[in-house]
Amino acid sequence: MEEKIICAGSGGQGVVTMGKVLAWAALKNEKSVTYIPSYGAEMRGGTANCSVIVSDSEIASPSIETPSVLIIMNDASLNKFEPRLAKNGLLIVNSSLIERKMTRKDIRTIQIPASEIAEQIGQIKIANMVVLGAYIGKSKIIPLKKLEESLISVFPKATKEILDINIKALRKGEEIVSPH
C-alpha cells in the first residue's frame, strides 16, 4: 500500500497542519512517511499545500507528480491540482467553499461541507480536521485513534479544549463517510 496525498487550500485553512497530523499518525502506526509542506507567500491567502506519502514499504522519492488522493479546501487549489489526480484517484473537497462542479468522470469524489460542520461544532478553523477525518473514514489507511493521538505531538501546548474540538471534528468527518 502506498498513498500519495496532496492537501491544498488557502493559506490559513490549516492544510499544512492537516498534512502534519496525517504524517505523525502514520508514523505512530509504523508506516513509512514523507511530508513536504509548502510555505512562503501562500501563507497570506494564496494557495498553500503539502505532500504526504504513506507507505507500507520504503519510499523512493518524496516528490508527488500524480497524487492518488487530493484533499482540497478551495476553488483555486481544485483548479491547480485536479488535473494531476491519478485515474481512479480520490478527491475530497470542502463543498462549503468550492463552487464548481467536478468535471472528471474517472475519479472518486467526496464532497463534504466541512466549513459548515466546523461552525456547527463551534470553530471554523477545524474544517481541516473534518475533511481529514473523512479521508481516514473512507481510506482506512490508518486508524482514527492514531490521528487523535498525533494531535498531542503536533500541538504540544494545546489546551484540552482545543484537542477535544479537533478530535470531535475528526470523528464527525469519519462519521459522514462511514456507514454505521
Rounded Cα gap, residues 87 and 178, in angstroms: 23
In 10 A of CB 65, how many CB atoms?
Answer: 8
Beta strands in 56-129 (DSSP E): 69-72, 90-94, 108-112
62: alpha, beta or left? (left if phi > 0; alpha if psi -120 to 50): alpha
Amino acid (1-letter code) at residue 69: V
How confident is the model over 114-124, as a mean pLDDT?
94
Q: SS3 for 27? A: helix
User: Is 129's pLDDT higher than 70?
Assistant: yes
Per-residue pLDDT at 17: 93
Question: pLDDT tens for residues 10-21?
Answer: 888 889 999 999
CATH code of 10's domain? 3.40.920.10
Rounded Cα gap, residues 97 and 127, in angstroms: 11
How confident is the model over 113-131, as a mean pLDDT?
94
Rounded Cα gap, residues 51 and 20, in angstroms: 10
Average pLDDT, the chain: 91
Say how many domains are in the chain.
Answer: 1
**Lookup: cell for 104:** 472528471
In 10 A of CB 21, how many CB atoms?
Answer: 26
Question: pLDDT tens for residues 150-175?
Answer: 999 899 999 999 999 999 999 999 99
The parent domain of residue 112 ranges over 2-177
